[in-house]
Amino acid sequence: MDRRYFIKNSTILSIGGLLIPSAILEACRKETLLEDINYDGKVLIIGAGAAGLYAAYLLKSKGIKFQLVEASANYGGRLGKLTGFANFPIDLGAQWLHGKNSILSDFITKSDTKISLDDSDLKYWFNNQLINKLPKKTNIFEGEDLPDISFEDYAIQKGFGNEYKYIIENIAGDQGADASQLSVYGNNKDEENWTSGDDDYKFQETYFDFIDKQIAAQVKDEILLNTIITKIDYSKSSIEITDSNNDLFLADKVIITVPIPILKSGDIQFIPDLPTEKTSAFSKIGMGAGMKVFLKFSNKFFDQNIIGGTICAAYADDSIGKVQDDNILLAFVMGEQAEYLSSLGSNAAITNALLQELDSMYNGQATASFIASHVQDWTTNPFVKGAYSYSTVGMGDARMIASASINKKLYFAGEAMNNNGHHQTVQGAVETGYREVMNLLKDLAK
């Protein structure tokens, strides 16, 4: 499954054993900061997802004191692993490595992590039948002088009728959004900045295993789980951070890596209030509902990828790239479709809705061979509240403003804070962890 539609390759340079995309390199030219700075202060990192874990990894490598706090009972953020459901491990969250040109590539090469190209075939559910090729090409969302309007409105402008509705929803859903919310202009600009490569890869184990073994293993002892940060007072020389149990943490610098809905909803109180320009930028960054449902069957009646369902716009054979081959079909549900399934109220109801759709595609074979399901609804996770970020209509430079540090005290990382087109990805989150550690060290050198 090639989830990137408009890819642009670029040069990758190596610094200190890490493969750094040129966009990050230009933003962090003083590479020697990681070698020269000694710091006796303490850094608190909020959020043990990919960005927080990598920031901690870098700080530990330089001997800088830090504490990594995580609201949930597990580290990994929007990474997760399910075992026992199939005869291969399943990625509950992020699962595709999008291109090989990123910071993570160095870890993959040095660790001999096994990945495989996902070049699986597509089938389209179109006018109530499965077809191999659509009557019209849908590559209308790339090019020059595209308008800042939604995918939905632009498709209508270009003459795509209602029969293409869920094909367009799949394209938008791949970017984490409803077609009515995703900006044609903004998304195209994001893709122009993309540098990591145009192929998608799957891990023989899981993406979680890779991050766990290569990065998290080095900092596990410094992670404090079940710690919900509710207040950050940065009005004094020492920053006071309070959790939901009224426990107090003191730090000299804070790296904030929580998902964008947490910042948008005000779950963390800042003293003094964050600048209006910054909170306004938070509000412009989109993040919609997201759900993954794994369906286990006694036989493989389904195609490798099915695009265009009205209940789920994207199904994928989850056994691709795995050593074992249980018959697992992933329903990758985004936006309004995910909201609808969540509203059904139970995993059984969600499963039944998907089985009914698959039965219509495959003449009742889904229900006849169904064994079990597992539902992972990221939207109902109180510390995530969605899938991944996207560019809304009218967003402008919101990511740049949102990710800017404050008073050399507060630093903002996470996939939504990635400014080089790699938001929505684990590698993009890791890049922001790198960037903010570099920014912190540069501030110390001034």
CB 174 within 8 A of CB 285: no
Q: Is cis: bond before 382, omega within 30 of 0?
A: no
Tell me whether residue 50 is in a domain: yes
Specify the 3-state DSSP secondary structure of 197: coil
Cβ-count burial of 224 within 10 angstroms (0-12 exposed, 13-18 middle, 19+ buried)? middle
The predicted structure's pLDDT at residue 27: 42
The predicted structure's pLDDT at residue 198: 85
The predicted structure's pLDDT at residue 14: 33
The predicted structure's pLDDT at residue 202: 94
Task: Identify the CATH number of the domain in which residue 430 sits.
Answer: 3.50.50.60
The predicted structure's pLDDT at residue 35: 65
Question: Which residue in the block uniquely carries the two structure tokens 């993406």?
Answer: 207
The predicted structure's pLDDT at residue 374: 98
The predicted structure's pLDDT at residue 33: 45
Q: Where are the beta strands (DSSP E) in 284-382?
A: 285-287, 290-297, 305-307, 314-317, 327-334, 370-377
Tell me whether residue 137 is in a domain: no
Tell me whether residue 441 is in a domain: yes
Tell me whether residue 407 is in a domain: yes
The predicted structure's pLDDT at residue 324: 85
The predicted structure's pLDDT at residue 397: 95
CB 150 within 8 A of CB 184: yes
Question: What range defines the domain where residue 437 resides?
Answer: 27-77+207-286+389-445
The predicted structure's pLDDT at residue 105: 87
Tell me whether residue 121 is in a domain: no
Q: What is the dihedral of CA 11, 12, 14, 19, to 10 degrees?
A: 180
The predicted structure's pLDDT at residue 17: 36
The predicted structure's pLDDT at residue 114: 94
CB 312 within 8 A of CB 333: yes
Q: What is the pTM of this model?
A: 0.92
Task: Look at strands 253-256 and 410-412 and give their pairing.
Answer: parallel
Report which residue type is found at 263. Answer: L
Cα separation, 288 vs 173, in Å, equals: 9
The CA radius of gyration of the chain, in Å to the nearest whole number, is: 22
Cα separation, 233 vs 97, in Å, equals: 37
Q: Where are the beta strands (DSSP E) in 234-313?
A: 239-243, 248-251, 253-256, 269-271, 285-287, 290-297, 305-307
| 429 Cβ contact list (under 8 Å, min separation 6) | 49, 50, 51, 54, 77, 257, 413, 414, 415, 418
Considering its fold, how many domains does the chain have in total? 1
Cα separation, 362 vs 309, in Å, equals: 12
Tell me whether residue 402 is in a domain: yes
The predicted structure's pLDDT at residue 2: 44
The predicted structure's pLDDT at residue 427: 95
Question: Which residue in the block uniquely carries the two structure tokens 């990192």?
Answer: 45
* Short-list 341, 321, 318, 342, CA closest to 330: 318
Full pLDDT tens readout for the chain, 446 residues: 444 443 232 233 333 334 344 444 444 434 444 566 778 899 999 999 999 999 999 999 999 999 999 999 999 999 999 999 999 999 999 999 998 888 998 899 899 899 999 988 999 999 999 999 999 999 999 888 999 999 999 999 999 999 999 999 999 999 999 999 999 999 999 989 998 888 999 999 999 999 999 999 999 999 999 999 999 999 999 999 999 999 999 999 999 999 999 999 999 999 999 999 999 999 999 999 999 999 999 999 999 999 999 999 999 999 999 988 899 999 999 999 999 999 999 999 999 999 999 999 999 999 999 999 999 999 999 999 999 999 999 999 999 999 999 999 999 999 999 999 999 999 999 999 999 999 999 998 87
| 146 Cβ contact list (under 8 Å, min separation 6) | 154, 184, 185, 188
Tell me whether residue 236 is in a domain: yes
| Helix/strand number for the chain, H first, E second | 15, 25
